[in-house]
Structure 1
Amino acid sequence: MGDFVTTTVIGAVKAIVYLYDFVSLPVYFLLQHPWTKWKKQTVWAKFEKEADPSSSIVRNSTENKSLLANISTVDELFQFAVQRYSTAKGFGVREVFGEEEEKQKDGKIFKKLILGDYTWYTYNDIDKMVENFSKGLLTLGLESRQNAVILAETRLEWFVAAQACFRIAVPVVTLYATLGEEGIVHAINETGASLLITSQELIPKIQKAFSQLLSIKKVIFMEGHRKPRLEAFPESVQPLSFSEVKSMGENSEKALNYDTPAPEDVAIIMYTSGSTGTPKGVMISHKNIITTCNGFMKLTEDMRPDDLYIAYLPLAHVLEIAAESFFLAVGVPLGYSSPLTMTDKSTAVKKGCKGDATILKPTLMSAVPLILDRIQKAITEAVQKEGKLSEAFFEFALEYKHCWKTRGFQTPIMNWLLFKKIKNMVGGRLRAIASGGAPLSSGTQEFIRTCLDVYLIQGYGLTETTAAATIMDLQDMSSGRVGAPVSDCFIQLKDWEEGGYSINDKPHPRGEIFVGGGSVTLGYYRNEELTKEAFFEKDGIRWFCTGDIGEMYPDGTIKIIDRKKDFVKLQFGEYISLGKVESELKRHPLVDNICVYGDSFKSYVVALVVPNQRQLHHLARSLGIEDISFEDMCMNKAIVAEVLKSLAEEGKKAKLQKMEIPQKIKLCFEQWSPDSGLVTATYKLRRKAVQDYYRDELADLYS
C-alpha cells in the first residue's frame, strides 16, 4: 500500500512539474539565456605533433602568466602577495574557547569544541609573524639548509612556520598528523632533523616515539586550548611554545646570518602516505611550486572579488599546499577549518553551535574523493530517514535538475524547495570544488554538482609532480575525466603491453601516463635507486613515470582508467583493475571502505568490506534481525548474503563486467584508520597491508 501511495503521489508531482515546464519554458529561455552555456565544440589540448599519439599532449593556448613572471621562490611569492594585498583580509582563524564532553545516544562520549567567531589577519600581519618566527628559529641555532620537520594539523601556524623556513632556506619536512609512529620515526631519522614543529594536541604521540628519535633536540609546539604536559620530554630535548619562538625573534637585536633560497633549492621534503610500503620523501624545489602556481593561473579567469577559500585538507598533502600557494598569489582569503568542525553536524561541533562553513560562507574549496563520497552518503542517509515518499521525491528532483542543468537552465523553484537546504550545509555560497588525490567516480561528480549547484572539476597530479599534471576547465561539463594538461606541463602516453593498452587504440589512445615539465620534482630523498627508476631527463625536460593508465579524448582531456599496481590477472587470463571496481562499489551507502582481491589461480574476485554501521543496522532490521552487535551483524550469514546481493546490483548499475563483481565478501568490523596501518594518512588503501592482515580470511573466501 505504501509503495502504491508513493508512486501515485510522485506521478502527480511529475505531471504538475511537466505542465509547469511546458508553460514556463519560453519565459526561462528568455530570462536565463541557456544558449550562452551550451557547450561549444572546444578542443582543450592536442598532440604536439599532429596525429602522432607518441608525441606530447599540450594545451592549445598559452595563458597569461605575467603575474608571477619575475618570481622564482616561494618566499618571493609570499612577499609579492604581501606587497600587492598588504592591508587586505587574508587569513581567518576561528576562536576555540575550550571543550566539553557530550554523551551520545549509544553511550559513546564525544569531545565537543566551544567555538567563537573568526579572527582575520591581513597580509602585513602574517608577514610580521613570519619574520619574527624565522628570526626566532635562527636565534635557536637553526641554520640554512638544515632540515626542520612540521608534524601538525592544518592551521595558520603551520603556514607561518613553513613560510618562515622558506625565507631562511630551511627545507621543510612534512608529515601527516595521522601518520603512525613507525612512519614518523622513519622520516625524522632519515632526514636527520634536529627541530620538530608540532601541535600541542600531538605532544603525547611525539613523546611515545622519543626513545627512537635520534636527532631531535628542540620541539616547538603550536598552542591549543588545553594546558600542555611537558614533563615527559627527555632532558636532551628542549620544548618551546610557538609564541615563545615568535617573541624571541621579535626581541632579537643581533644580526642573524642566513641564506636566501635559490629556485633549485629543496623547499619541501614531502613524505608520501606510503600506500605501497614505507613512506618516501619527495624533494620539491621552490621552482616546482612556482611552476605549479603558474600552471593554475588559467583559473583566475573565473575568480571573483568576494571569493574565499576554506582550507582544511592536510597541508602535508601536496594538493593543499599547492592550492594555498596559488590562492596566496592571487589574493583569495584563506579561512582555516578542519573536517571535525567544518559543518554544523561535524563530530567536534557542540550541539547548537555553527560549523566553520556556516560562519565562513566559502566560495571555493578543495576535496579528495573520500570526502565527496561521504557528503553524498550523508545526504542520501538524511533523505532516507524521511521515509520512502521523501526519498522518491529527492530522486525525481535530482534527475530533474540534472536534466535541465545539462541543457543550460537553472531550476530556481526546485532549488528553493530542496537544494538550498543542502547547499547551506557548506555555507550557501560555494560555487566551485576542485577534486584531486584519486579518481572521482562519474556518479559522485554528477551528484555533488547537482545537489550543491557547484562547478566540480577534477585535477590530476602527484606529489612527484607537485600536484600539477592536468585540470578541468570550469566550462568542461564532462564527468569522470581530469581535464587537459596545465600550462608548462607535458603529458605522454606510453604503451603498456601487459595490460593491453596502446597509444594506437581506437577510438581513444591509451597508455601509461608520463608527466614532464618544471613541476616534476627532484626525486626521492636518499633513494637514488628509486629515483632513477621513476624519473628521467630527455631533451632538457624532466619526466616522471606515474604508473597510472590514461585515455585521451578527442577534446584533449584525459581519463584515468587504471593503475598498473592495482592490476591482477585471473585464472583464464582476464585482467581486473581492482581500483576501478573499488571506486564504483564504494559509492554504495552500505560501504565505508572496500578492498577487492584477486587470486591469479582463481576465476573470480572477492572483497573485504567495511560496512557503514548505520546502514547495516537498517539492513538487519529489514531482515527481521534485531538486538545484535555490529560485530555479530558482520558475521551473520543472512546479512552477508544480502550485502553481497546489493553490491552485485551496484556493480551491474556501474556496468562492471561479471568477472569484475566480487563473488564472495567478508564484512570487517575493524575500522580501517591510519593508526591501524591498513590505510594511509589520506585514507588510501595500503593494499598489501590489508591483504597480509586478512590473509586467513581471504584464503577462507577462496576455499
Structure 2
Amino acid sequence: MLAFVLVSGSLWILLELSSTLMEKMQAQEMMSGLRIPEMDELGQFFRSLPTSTLVGIGALTAVLAYWLATRPRPIKPPCSLLHQSEEVPHEDGGRRSMMGDPSKLLTHYHDDARTMYEVFQRGLHISGDGPCLGSRLPNQPYKWMSYKEVSATQGTPYLSVTTTVSALSESRESFRGGGTLKRDAQNVFNTYHLFRDIYLGLSGNLQVLPSNQVTARAEHLGSGLLHQGCQPNPNQFIGVFAQNRPEWIISELACYTYSMVVVPLYDTLGADAIRFIINTADISTVICDKLEKAQVLLENVERKETPGLRRIILMDAFDSALVEHGKSCGVHVQAMQEVEALGREHYRKPKPPAPDDLSIVCFTSGTTGNCCAICMNVMHDLCSVFIFPNQDDCLISFLPLAHMFERLIESVVYCHGGRIGFYQGDIRLLPDDMKALRPTIFPVVPRLLNRMYDKIFSQANSPLKRWLLNFAAKRKGAEVSSGIIRSDSIWDKIFFSKIQASLGGRLRMIITGAAPTSPTVLGFLRAALGCQVYEAYGQTECTAGCTFTTPGDWTPGHVGAPLPCNLIKLVDVPEKNYFASKGEGEVCVKGPNVFKGYLKDPERTAETLDADSWLHTGDIGKWLPNGTLKIIDRKKHIFKLAQGEYISPEKIENIYIRSEPVAQLYVHGDSLQSCLVGIVVPDPEVMPEWAKKKGMLGTYKDLCKNTQLKKAILEDLVRLGKASGLHSFEQVKNIYIHNEMFSIENGLLTPTLKAKRPELKEFFKAKIDQLYSSISM
C-alpha cells in the first residue's frame, strides 16, 4: 500500500511539475533558443516557481534518491557469465574454469587449511570459540558445543583477528578500486570478500548454551584410541557407523588429529555391505551410535565373517549383556565416554596428517565392491571459491555424513567458523527441525526439491490458485534471471513468505547435487525461496564435485562450470552417436580432487582412471555456448533392445518423473526384449486428488490397483515422452503400479537416494515378467 501511495504521489508531482515547467518555458521562450540554460537562469527560474511546486520537486528527488539507494541490485559474478570456461592447450579438449591461475590448477584456497584438521582449527579461531555442533531433543531448543569443546587446540599459532580483518579490508578495497578480474588466486580471494560483503550480514538468533569447561573431546577420544593400541598414521583405519550427530564429527576429528583414516559405514547399509567394508579396509575398531548396530557387528564376528574386528565403541548407553556378548566372541565393547576418559588421563600431543596423506576411505553409494580411497585435503578449500559462509551461518545436517557431498559442504562451513545443527534422525521431523534451527545453508538432493515443488502445487488446489502461483513465480523469476536474489519483494509478501517461513525463514543458500534437477523445479524454487540455489555435479571419485554454479548465473538447465581445481573434457561415445567434436561425450575429470584409486582393486582402478589420469565418470555431457556443462545422458546403464536400439533408462526416467501423480519410477529393458516396461510409485499426497479429477475415488492402496488409473498414468507418461522428443522405442509399453516407496530401508535406494538398478530388477522380476507376457506386440 505504501509503495502504491509513493508511486501515485510521485506521478502526480511529475505531472504537476511538467505542466508548470511548460508554462514557464513558453512564457520565457526558452524553447526557441535550444541551448543549455546558464546557472543564473536556472536559479532565477527556480526562484520564480511556486512553493508547492518546489516542495513537489524536493519530494520527487527524495523518492528517487531513496529508490536509488535501496533498490535491489544483482549479484556481481566473479567472471563473465558468457564465458565461464575455456579450452586448455595440449589437454585434448579439456576445459578449465575462468577463475584462478590459467597456468595451473588450484590445489588449495587457504594456506592455513590444507587438511581437515587445519580446517577445524581455522574455524575455531575465526569463530572466537563460537558454537560449532548443535543437536536437540523432541520439542526442545538446540543445544550447542563450541569449537574448543569439539576440537580444541593447545597453543596453535594463528593470525590475530585484527590482522585478519585489516587484510580483508585491504583486499576488498583493492578490488573495489577498479581493474579487471585477473586470473590468479589472489583476485579470486578478493572476489570472495567482495561477494561476502554483498551476500552476508545475517546473524543467528538461537540461544547458545555456554561451556563451563573446555573438554577437547576429539583430542581425548583420539588419545584414548592410541592408548589402546591404535597407531597414529594413515595405515590405521577407524570405522564410523552412525547417523548424523555431533559424536560423528567428534569421531572423525579424533582420527584427523592423529593422522588416522576415517571409514564411514552407511547407517542403512545391509549386513553384506558392512561385512565387505570391514574386511576390505581391515577395520579393527568401529565407533557406532546404537546398541542394535553393535549387536549386528557382534553377530558378524560370531559367524567368523569379520574376524579382524576387535573393538566396538558406543555413543549411546548400553547394558552389561552387550559387554558379555562381546567378551564371548573376543570383542571389547566400550562407551565413548570411557575412551575419552582414558584419553584425558593418557593425553597425546596431536599428530595431524600431511596434506597428501590419505584421510578417508569412502565406499561408493549403492555397491559393495567399489571402495575408493579419497584424500579430503582439497575438498573444503576449493569450494570456498564459490561458497561464501561466515561465522553467523548455520547449516542443517540431514544428508548422510558418509556421503561426500554432505561432507564437502559441511567442511566449508567449518572452515569459516560457521555452525552445524543436526536433525533428530527422523526425516519426518525435518520440517520441525528447520523451524527450530532456522538454518542459512541447506544442502539437499533433487528428490527433496521435487517433493517440495509437488507439495507447494498440491496445496494450490484450484486452477486460479495455480495460475496465480505460476504468474508470481514468473514475475519473480524475471528478477532472478537478471541476477537479483531477495525475499522482500511484493511477490514474496503475497505468495512466498509462508513457503520461506516453513524452512526457517533465514535461508540464503541451497546447494543441490548427487542427481540431476529438473530445470522447471529449480527455476520455480529459485524464485519462491528467495535465496541462492546452487547446483553441483560430481561423484565420489572426484571428491563429490567437479562443476558448480557460478554465482550470479541463475539460469537452469546446466550444472555450472568446472571448478578451478580440475579440468573437464568430453570423449566420444560412438554407440550413442555422441562425439567430442560436436561438444558432446562422456564427461572426464582430471585434477587434484580426483581420487587415488579403488582400495585393493587395481583392475577397477585401471578401468576408471586412464593412463593420463583422466577419471571417466560414465555420464554424458554437452558444452553450452557460455562454457557451462549440461548432463544429457548416462553411459553406465545404457543397454540394447532386441532390435539393436540403444536405451538410456535414466534419461527416460528424468522425463517421466515430471508426471504429476508420479513420485518414483524404474524403467526396465534388456537385449532379449524389444520394448520397455516400467514400475511406477504414485505420490500418496498428490495422486488421490489427481485421480479424483479423473473420476476415480478410493484409498491410496485401492487406487494403485485400479486399472483405469494405470491407464491414465501410462498415457501421461507417453504424453511427456512425446513432448520431450523420445522415440517410440524409448517409450514404456506397460507399467505396474506399486504402492510402497523405494527407500534406503527396503534396499532399493542408495543413501544418496539414487535407484539401485540391480536390486530393483531383482525385486520386481516377477512383475516385470508379467508385464512383458501381457504385451501384445
TM-score calculated relative to the size of structure 1: 0.83
> 1:551/1:121 Cα in 2 relative to 1: closer, same or farther (>3 Å)?
same
> 1:278/1:173 Cα in 2 relative to 1: closer, same or farther (>3 Å)?
same
Cα separation, 1, equivalents of 2:592 and 2:108: 17
Question: 1:219-257: CA deviations, max 9, x gaps?
Answer: 111227x9897368332222222222212211226xx59
1:168 aligned onto 2:258: yes
Q: Is the 8 A contact 1:673 1:679 kept in 2?
A: yes
Letter in 2 for 1:188: I
Q: 1:48 aligns with which of 57, 78, 88?
A: 88
Letter in 2 for 1:44: Q
Q: Who is 1:219 aligned against?
A: 312
> 1:373/1:202 Cα in 2 relative to 1: closer, same or farther (>3 Å)?
farther
Q: What is the Cα deviation at residue 124 of structure 1?
A: 1.5
Cα separation, 1, equivalents of 2:703 and 2:323: 45
Q: Who is 1:559 aligned against?
A: 630
Q: Is the 8 A contact 1:510 1:550 kept in 2?
A: yes
Question: 1:486-518: CA deviations, max 9, x gaps?
Answer: 11211111111111111111xxx1111111111
- Written as runs of structure 1 = structure 2, the 5 A alignment for 1:111-150 is 114-127=138-151, 128-144=216-232, 145-150=235-240
Letter in 2 for 1:616: M
- Written as runs of structure 1 = structure 2, the 5 A alignment for 1:281-680 is 281-285=371-375, 289-299=376-386, 302-303=388-389, 306-337=392-423, 340=426, 347-348=428-429, 355-384=432-461, 387-407=462-482, 412-505=489-582, 509-538=583-612, 542-570=613-641, 573-600=644-671, 604-622=675-693, 624-627=695-698, 630=701, 632-654=702-724, 656-680=726-750
Q: What is the Cα deviation at residue 581 of structure 1?
A: 1.6
Q: What is the Cα deviation at residue 408 of structure 1?
A: 5.6
Q: Who is 2:22 aligned against?
A: none
> 1:501/1:624 Cα in 2 relative to 1: closer, same or farther (>3 Å)?
closer
1:268 aligned onto 2:360: yes
Q: What is the Cα deviation at residue 273 of structure 1?
A: 1.8
Q: What is the Cα deviation at residue 207 of structure 1?
A: 4.9
Cα separation, 1, equivalents of 2:292 and 2:533: 34
Q: 1:245 aligns with which of 339, 347, 357?
A: 339
In structure 2, the residue corresponding to 1:443 is in which secondary structure?
Answer: helix
Q: Is the 8 A contact 1:609 1:668 kept in 2?
A: yes
Q: Who is 1:6 aligned against?
A: none
In structure 2, the gaps of 5 or more residues are 13-62, 152-215
Q: What is the Cα deviation at residue 610 of structure 1?
A: 1.5
> 1:694/1:402 Cα in 2 relative to 1: closer, same or farther (>3 Å)?
same
Q: What is the Cα deviation at residue 563 of structure 1?
A: 1.2
Q: What is the Cα deviation at residue 31 of structure 1?
A: 6.9
Cα separation, 1, equivalents of 2:732 and 2:528: 30
Q: Is the 8 A contact 1:362 1:430 kept in 2?
A: yes
Q: Who is 1:88 aligned against?
A: 130
Question: Mean Cα displacement is larger for which, 569-578 or 643-652?
Answer: 569-578
> 1:264/1:67 Cα in 2 relative to 1: closer, same or farther (>3 Å)?
closer
Q: What is the Cα deviation at residue 261 of structure 1?
A: 2.4
Letter in 2 for 1:233: H
> 1:239/1:600 Cα in 2 relative to 1: closer, same or farther (>3 Å)?
same
Cα separation, 2, equivalents of 1:565 and 1:626: 41
Cα separation, 1, equivalents of 2:142 and 2:489: 31
Cα separation, 1, equivalents of 2:675 and 2:83: 40
Cα separation, 1, equivalents of 2:699 and 2:107: 62
In structure 1, the residue corresponding to 2:82 is in which secondary structure?
Answer: coil
In structure 2, the residue corresponding to 1:451 is in which secondary structure?
Answer: helix
Cα separation, 1, equivalents of 2:269 and 2:455: 26
> 1:29/1:584 Cα in 2 relative to 1: closer, same or farther (>3 Å)?
farther
Q: Is the 8 A contact 1:294 1:487 kept in 2?
A: no
Q: What is the Cα deviation at residue 586 of structure 1?
A: 2.0
Question: 1:102-133: CA deviations, max 9, x gaps?
Answer: xxxxxxxxxxxx33111222222212111111
Q: Is the 8 A contact 1:284 1:522 kept in 2?
A: yes
In structure 2, the residue corresponding to 1:674 is in which secondary structure?
Answer: coil
Q: What is the Cα deviation at residue 607 of structure 1?
A: 1.2
Letter in 2 for 1:142: C
Q: What is the Cα deviation at residue 176 of structure 1?
A: 1.0
Question: 1:540-599: CA deviations, max 9, x gaps?
Answer: xx3311111111112211111111123233455543321122123223342221111234
Cα separation, 2, equivalents of 1:579 and 1:589: 18
Letter in 1 for 2:250: V
Q: Is the 8 A contact 1:272 1:463 kept in 2?
A: yes
Of the two, which has the highest radius of gyration? 2
Cα separation, 1, equivalents of 2:364 and 2:483: 41
Cα separation, 1, equivalents of 2:460 and 2:703: 24
Q: Is the 8 A contact 1:619 1:639 kept in 2?
A: no
In structure 1, the residue corresponding to 2:421 is in which secondary structure?
Answer: strand
Q: Is the 8 A contact 2:392 2:419 kept in 1?
A: no
Q: Is the 8 A contact 1:308 1:333 kept in 2?
A: yes
Letter in 2 for 1:115: N
> 1:404/1:201 Cα in 2 relative to 1: closer, same or farther (>3 Å)?
farther
Letter in 1 for 2:626: D
Structure with the largest fraction of strand? 1
Q: Who is 1:77 aligned against?
A: 119
Q: 2:757 aligns with which of 687, 697, 700?
A: 687
Question: 1:136-181: CA deviations, max 9, x gaps?
Answer: 1112222232211111111111111011012222211111101111
In structure 2, the residue corresponding to 1:673 is in which secondary structure?
Answer: coil
Cα separation, 1, equivalents of 2:544 and 2:538: 4
Q: Is the 8 A contact 1:273 1:279 kept in 2?
A: no
Question: 1:575-631: CA deviations, max 9, x gaps?
Answer: 33211221232233422211112344555432111222333333454455545661x
> 1:304/1:636 Cα in 2 relative to 1: closer, same or farther (>3 Å)?
same
> 1:645/1:44 Cα in 2 relative to 1: closer, same or farther (>3 Å)?
same
> 1:67/1:616 Cα in 2 relative to 1: closer, same or farther (>3 Å)?
closer
Q: What is the Cα deviation at residue 529 of structure 1?
A: 0.8
Q: Who is 1:12 aligned against?
A: none
Q: Is the 8 A contact 2:509 2:532 kept in 1?
A: yes
Question: 1:170-194: CA deviations, max 9, x gaps?
Answer: 2111111011111111111222211
Letter in 1 for 2:413: F
Letter in 2 for 1:270: C
